[in-house]
């Protein structure tokens, strides 16, 4: 919606003379539409929803809330032109999510002067900490894996003819 605004409209929105909600409402009513159908059972409605989200309609896969099919990650990588260093970093964070604690240098304790602290306060004596970004990478990988499983399950259900 915002890219379609003229510089004058953007200025008026910034000044408070024009409300973005009004422009959004106008855009939706002028350019978008929706349809609905009533089904006798929730299972039948859910099966139709799954097929639509998987892209099995003439309109193709929806932009909002699609079911991810296998192979979409490769498309995502190529489409967004990730740098080689970025791809390597993501792969590294996936394969090695933990690294040595920088505070105790992987020893599990801190030596200060003549006395030694029994446990490093950062890693709690475990000698390693989770690398920044590894949790996000693993969440994304889990979503990809779950999406692939769901897409395979829905395709199997469609082949069997059962919802």
Per-residue pLDDT tens digits for 112-161? 766 666 788 888 888 888 888 888 888 888 888 887 777 777 777 666 66
Q: Is 117 within 8 Å of 111 (Cβ atoms)?
A: yes
pTM of model > 0.75: no
HSE-CB for 16 with a 13 A CA cutoff: 0
Residue 137 lies in a domain: no
Backbone angles phi, psi at 111, to 5 degrees: -105, 120
pLDDT attached to residue 161 = 64
Q: Rounded to an integer, what distance in angstroms lies between the CA atom of residue 158 and that of residue 162?
A: 7
Residue 5 lies in a domain: yes
Residue 162 lies in a domain: no
Measuring CA to CA, which residue among 158, 132, 138 is closest to residue 47? 158
Q: Rounded to an integer, what distance in angstroms lies between the CA atom of residue 127 and that of residue 107?
A: 6
Name the residue range of residue 10's domain: 1-33
């Amino acid at each position: 919606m915002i890219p379609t605004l003229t510089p004058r409209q953007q200025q008026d929105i910034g000044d408070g003379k024009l409300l973005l909600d009004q422009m959004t409402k106008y855009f939706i009513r002028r350019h978008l539409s929706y349809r609905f159908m009533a089904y006798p059972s929730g299972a039948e409605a859910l099966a139709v929803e799954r097929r639509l989200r998987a892209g099995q309609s003439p309109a193709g896969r929806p932009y909002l809330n699609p079911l991810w099919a296998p192979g979409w990650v490769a498309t995502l990588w190529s489409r967004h032109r990730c740098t080689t260093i970025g791809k390597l970093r993501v792969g590294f964070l996936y394969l090695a999510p933990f690294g040595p604690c920088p505070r105790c240098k992987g020893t599990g304790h801190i030596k200060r002067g003549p006395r030694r602290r029994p446990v490093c306060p950062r890693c709690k004596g475990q000698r390693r900490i989770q690398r920044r970004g590894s949790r996000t990478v693993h969440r994304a990988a889990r979503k990809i894996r779950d999406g692939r499983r769901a897409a395979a399950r829905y395709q199997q259900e469609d082949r069997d003819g059962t919802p």
